[in-house]
Amino acid sequence: MTFDIAVTGAAADAVARMVPQLVSDGVASGITTQDSSLWGADAEDEASRRLGWVEAVAASEALVPDIIALRDLLRSRGVNHIVLGGMGGSSLAPEVIARTAGVELTVLDTTDPGQVLSALHDRLATTALVISSKSGSTVETDSQKRVYEQAFREHGIDPVDRIVIVTDPGSPLDSSARADGYRVFNADPNVGGRFSALTAFGLVPCGLAGVDIQHLLDDAESVSLQLALDTPSNPGLVLGAAIAGTRPLKDKLGIVADGTYIVGFGDWAEQLIAESTGKHGRGILPVVLHVDSPEISAGLPDLQIVRLVHDRRATEEVIEGEIEISGTLGAQILVWEYATAVAGRLLGINPFDQPDVESAKIATRGLLDARPQPSAAAFVDGEIEVRGTGVDGVDSVRAAVDGLLEQLGPDGYLSIQAYANRIAFRELAQLRSILAERAGRPVTFGWGPRFLHSTGQLHKGGPGVGVFLQITTVELLDLEIPGRPFSFGQLIQAQAAGDATVLAEHGRPVLTLTLHDPANTVEALLSALR
Ligand SMILES: O=P(O)(O)OC[C@H]1O[C@H](O)[C@H](O)[C@@H](O)[C@@H]1O
């Protein structure tokens, strides 16, 4: 199994219409030789610093022996548990790679105090922490590092022996970590976060956890020549045209794991597609679905289904209108990166920037500085406070959510954003299918603050047709962030409130449900909405 793609229906029409032009324009070879002019003059400067991923496989080979040597050293010291602190492109790929390999890696991409506390209390004596941040300035990652440094010290462990840093050369984290004596792996600064899966960002945490990272690179290498060629069968051109060339554009992309051995691929692809394409009022909304999700059989004209199947045989039985893909994880990562770059060209956008991510960060910082009293709830239903759009004249959570769904347009979608402990309250994710039944439109589910570094860009910069259901939780225990004037609990609340403010400024409806003592209210919420 290397990589196979089959297209039917509108996707096949798009391939027939677009690929010959992409071939004659030399797009595949242009991407491979890092031609930064492929996305227009406005994107050229950024693209000139963002195409290093095309040679990531070759460049990363040199890292493998160092990572394996460090893994063995840590193991010889009794370290058998790896935690990864990082957000977005610095954590989504490692999670998929490790889960697919069946290797334990604790991914801490949160500011939820309960989830951070649980991680801190989990095998600290035999844990090493990888702190990954390209920019070296992401507040979540910095907070995770601070709290682990303190915990290690309190347990008589020198953090220098247990914390490994992955960052770009010259970042603030690079300088401070080197000064503090940490082991630092530098990544290629000419690769953006969401394209960094096959660089040190994907390889260091996974390799330390025990994944066969050489195998991953070999799988990617097996498609790299095919991807470089200006031929009609180039899978990067075919997939790019199939997802971004339909007319009218099917701008929701349902990603369905249907037999693939890859675990959680949609969670990684979400960031790649949403952050790369969702800007200037355009974009493709990734929607992670199950085989039995209501959207699949609903016949929605703007939803393109891509099914990740097990092998070539399955791709011979493609469901009409769908795209079917099989392939190894390494191959899939590289093909989807090429396809996303191709999609950016077809959509006429710069696939390498994320202009609207910063707005939520600014709003969060403003709230952390000013610490305003939270606005009064419009009403309280049981233990759930209700605020936001469409709550006038209603007095139940169910009626408020119905009011939100009524604001869905014919091309709209519902985004559920749960700022919560995604381990302890994983059943909150059931809200997706519960509300998809009722909404009749695509529904996405994201954990906050992790989605802010992923689909968050598209929700604010994309076509502007989403309606938003925020779930926030107030846990009984909070956790201080050493050396910071705010706690994890205050940070996550400010992140939720900041993003709600920015979405509202974009004219989008936002309904916020706040669950006090979530251990006792999550089930009540699910029951209220079933
Ligand atoms: O790796 P870092 O610099 O910490 O960035 C983590 C994430 O931050 C931002 O949200 C960017 O939009 C993402 O693309 C990036 O992956």
pLDDT digits (tens, 9 = 90+) for 299-344: 999 999 999 999 876 667 789 999 999 999 999 999 999 999 999 9
Q: Does domain 62-216 have CATH number 3.10.20.740?
A: no
Q: State the helix-helix crossing angle for 92-101 and 200-209, rounded to 10 degrees.
A: 40
State ipTM: 0.99
pLDDT in tens, 420-477: 999 999 999 999 999 999 999 999 999 999 999 999 999 999 999 999 999 999 988 9
Query: How would you class 313 by CB atoms within 10 Å of its CB: exposed for 0-12, middle for 13-18, buried for 19 or more?
Result: exposed
Give the Cα separation of 497 and 492 in Å (integer). 9
Phi, psi of 282 (to 5 degrees): -120, 175
Give the Cα separation of 151 and 159 in Å (integer). 9
Count how many Cα atoms sit within 13 Å of the Cα of residue 420 in the half-sphere of its side chain. Answer: 26
| Cβ 87 under 6 angstroms from ligand 1 | yes
| Cβ 357 under 6 angstroms from ligand 1 | yes
The dihedral through the CA atoms of 17, 21, 26, 30 has a sign that is negative
**Roughly how many angstroms between the first and final C-alpha of the chain, as a whole number?**
41
| Cβ 90 under 6 angstroms from ligand 1 | yes
Nearest C-alpha to atom 9 of ligand 1 is from which residue?
453
Nearest C-alpha to atom 11 of ligand 1 is from which residue?
453
| Cβ 133 under 6 angstroms from ligand 1 | yes
- Distance from Cα 141 to the centre of ligand 1, integer Å: 10
| Cβ 298 under 6 angstroms from ligand 1 | no
| Cβ 354 under 6 angstroms from ligand 1 | yes
| Probe target for ligand 1 pocket from 132, 134, 361, with the most ligand atoms within 8 Å of CB | 134
The beta-strand segments (E) located in 449-519 are 466-474, 510-516
Q: What is 357-529's CATH number?
A: 3.40.50.10490
Give the Cα separation of 354 and 511 in Å (integer). 25
| Cβ 135 under 6 angstroms from ligand 1 | yes
**361: helix, coil or strand?**
helix
Question: Which residue ranges make up each domain of the chain?
Answer: 3-54+230-347, 62-216, 357-529
Q: Which atom of ligand 1 is nearest to the CA of 140?
A: 4
- Closest-CA residue to 428 (of 381, 472, 493, 384): 472
CA 444 centroid distance within chain: 12
Nearest C-alpha to atom 12 of ligand 1 is from which residue?
453
| Probe target for ligand 1 pocket from 186, 350, 453, 499, with the most ligand atoms within 8 Å of CB | 453
| Cβ 441 under 6 angstroms from ligand 1 | no
Q: What is the pTM of this model?
A: 0.98
What's the topology of domain 3-54+230-347? Rossmann fold (3.40.50)
Q: Which atom of ligand 1 is nearest to the CA of 90?
A: 1
Which residue type is seen at 504? A
| Cβ 114 under 6 angstroms from ligand 1 | no
- Distance from Cα 90 to the centre of ligand 1, integer Å: 7
Q: pLDDT truncated to tens, each residue of the chain (530 aa)?
A: 589 999 999 999 999 999 999 999 999 999 999 999 999 999 999 999 999 999 999 999 999 999 999 999 999 999 999 999 999 999 999 999 999 999 999 999 999 999 999 999 999 999 999 999 999 999 999 999 999 999 999 999 999 999 999 999 999 999 999 999 999 999 999 999 999 999 999 999 999 999 999 999 999 999 999 999 999 999 999 999 999 999 999 999 999 999 999 999 999 999 999 999 999 999 999 999 999 999 999 999 999 999 999 987 666 778 999 999 999 999 999 999 999 999 999 999 999 999 998 888 898 999 999 988 888 999 999 999 999 988 889 999 999 999 999 999 999 999 999 999 999 999 999 999 999 999 999 999 999 999 999 999 999 999 999 999 999 999 889 999 999 999 999 999 999 999 999 999 999 999 999 999 899 999 999 999 99
Domains 62-216 and 357-529 share a fold: yes
